[in-house]
A = this chain, B = another copy of it.
């Protein structure tokens, strides 16, 4: 495990806070080691830093009440959703109280005429979409994991559909949040657009619980398209696949998903998902629209793909075939892990302008090979975002160090290509040094905002900004 730096603990404050919270919440203020460790643990290689207590909040009032106790004593509070974040977001390097929001999982309102809904933060993506299906609606952001929507907003998540539907920043209309002093605010009304004041919605989206705790979300919804068609196409090189992606997007085909698997990932998928795909770089696509529209989109894509050397083009409107293909895509994490049993998967998350993507992926593949690392690549290539999944033996310190070097090297490469160290996972603990390298002086103003809104640094301390 790597990179977890402990911060100074306010022992007296924490002790008194736990007394007061136990008085208020009784046995619901949980301090058992197992639950604490579970809440400091994420899908990451950063060591667990458990909070001192965990409370499953049941209402905005309860969240506010907990934050007020902690604010009074300058004790950290850490919001927790499903624990699927990847950069140590829910660790408690200075201890403190974890507010678990999973029990706040009510879908409060669905306004089908306005294509929006109001939900509590613990509602998960799959729960929401199951609820919406009968009304012919869906929420498009799909980061893979069945994450909570509060957590997805807090990390500015995106995923396979972002090329068409945007990221969480584009799909949150308004938020309710508990600020560091316990005040409950609403960032915006339910209107679809507004020029009223500073964009507090988008300031909280991606703030990773460091400026406030999201307690309610108003989300944009989409109508389920009349028709969905998926396609796949193999390419001789990553370069050729990326050129086809650029041409597809420039041509204005409104692809709903366009995903790249490199040859190693395709091999992993073939084995894990029992497919027989050619083991060369592959694009997987999905088209949303009318029956005629998706056929036209997929035919136009096929023409473009052929120009760039695409082969084995197959398109289908069969739900079963489509689900099989996308299930394989969603299972890529497990498929890649199976390439090296016992290894842990460490995911990079760089995102570059799409014109630099082929070069960036190519250099990453070459560097991994040169360093003797196994790193299959999958990518949301319509956005220029890709993940190299490093398969690491965590018992081998040398290999862990090498992986850490690779991650740093790749982040710096992406930054040098006008890209970012994180397209969708967030900064958390792990990427803080890269944020400074990426945005330089702008981080000073981020720190000023943090200090203004959370002067005692109690909201998820040790995340996003370097100390």
B203, A441: Cβ atoms closer than 8 Å: no
A162 on interface, CB distance cutoff 8 Å: yes
Give the shortest distance, in Å, between A80 (CB) and chain B (any CB).
18
Using a CB-CB cutoff of 8 Å, which residues 265-311 of chain A contact chain B?
289-290, 292-293, 296, 300
Which residue on chain B has the smallest CB distance to residue A136? B250
Residue A246 interfacial (CB < 8 Å): yes
Complex Cα–Cα for A434 and B196 (A): 9
In angstroms, Cα B111 to Cα A352, docked, is 13
Contact B418 A192 (CB under 8 A): no
Q: Taking the nearest CB of chain B, how far is it from the CB of A176, in angstroms?
A: 10
Chain B nearest CB: distance from A2 CB in Å?
Answer: 20
Choose one: B197, B355, B451; the contact of A114 (CB below 8 Å).
B355
Give Cα A207–Cα B223 distance, bound, in whole angstroms: 32
Q: Encode contact with B along A344-367: 1 for CB under 8 Å, 0 otherwise.
A: 000001011111000000000000
Name the one of B111, B195, B252 contacting A156, with C-beta atoms under 8 angstroms: B195
Residues of B within 8 A of A246 (CB): 113
Q: Known contacts A354-B114, A441-B184; decide if A426 and B195 are in contact (CB<8 Å).
A: yes
A79 CB → nearest B CB, Å: 16
Q: A189-B420, A193-B167 are in contact. Are A198 and B449 (CB under 8 A)?
A: yes
Residues A419 and B252 in contact in the complex (CB < 8 Å), given A196-B431, A199-B202, A355-B113:
no
Is B422 a contact partner of A196 (Cβ separation < 8 A)? yes
- For residues 409 through 467 of chain A, which have their beta carbon under 8 Å from a beta carbon of chain B? 414-415, 418-427, 431, 434-435, 438-446, 448-453, 464-465
Beta-carbon contact of B384 and A191 below 8 Å: yes
Which residue of B has the minimal Cβ distance to A135? B250
User: Can you list 10 A-B contacts (CB < 8 A)?
Assistant: A185-B439, A190-B418, A192-B383, A192-B384, A194-B423, A196-B434, A197-B464, A198-B450, A198-B464, A223-B250
